[in-house]
Amino acid sequence: MGRRRGVLIAALVLMLVASSGYWGYVATRDDGTAPAVAAAEQTSEPGLRDRLGGAVRDLVGGGTGGGERKAEPVSAGLAVNERPPAGKKWPAQKRVREVAAKRTANGKVYQLSDGRLQAEISAVPVHYRDAKGAYKPIDTKVKPTGRAGYVQGNATNAFTSLFGDRTDNLVRFEKDGRSIELGLPGAARKAAPKVSGSTVTYPVDGVELVYEVSSTELKEKIV
C-alpha cells in the first residue's frame, strides 16, 4: 500500500511540474546548499507527460474525454451527491372489507381504502376449518346439539367438545378423527349440564365439575 501511494504522489508531482510547460529535475550541490533546478522547454508532441497527466486526471475525476465524469450510482439507486428523499408518512386508512380467501388459522387480511392490504396476526387460533375445508371464525360458545347422549356441545372450533347428561358419559373431546370420553365410575345417574357461554358445570356429589372451552384447550376444574 505504501509503495502504491508513493507512485501516485510521484505522478501527481510530475503532473504539477509538467503543467507549467517545463520538464524539471532537482539536484543537490556537493556543498549541501540550496538545490539548483534545471528545466527544458516543453515539446508540442504528446509523450509520457501527456499520458501521465491524462491518467492522473482520470484518477482524480478531472478528465474531460467524452464529457464530464458522472457521479457513480450507489446501491440505493442514488447518486453519491444526491440526498435521500424524506420519509413518507402514510395517511390513516379505513378497513373496507376482510379478504376471506387469505385467512389462516391465526390470521386475517383486510383491504384498506387506498387498496393496500393489512394483516392481523393472533398468537392463538382465530379460525377453524369446516367440513368443506374453508376457514371460519372460531366461536367457543356451547350450544344444544339436538342429539341423544351429548345434549350440549361446541363444534365451531379447532376441536369439538361434547357434554352429556349422565355421570358415566360427561365429556367427549374430538380432534383429527380421534376422541376421548370422560365419566364418573359407579352406576350411571342423571347429570344435567349447566351452560354459561363457553363454560359447562356439573354439580355432582357436593362438588362442581367445571369445563371451559377456549380456542386452544378444553380445561377441567374441580370446585
| Grid cell in block for residue 9 | 504522489
Domain ranges of the chain: 7-25+47-63, 95-132, 143-222
Per-residue pLDDT at 51: 63
**Which has the closest alpha carbon to 140: 119, 159, 124?**
159
150, three cell numbers? 351429548
pTM score of the predicted model: 0.57
* pLDDT 10s digits, 104-116: 999 999 999 999 9
| Digit-coded pLDDT (tens) for 123-157 | 999 999 999 999 999 999 999 998 888 999 999 99
Distance CA 127, CA 140 (A): 11
Higher pLDDT, 116 or 16: 116
In whole angstroms, what is the distance from residue 215 CA to residue 218 CA?
Answer: 8
Residue 128, pLDDT score: 97
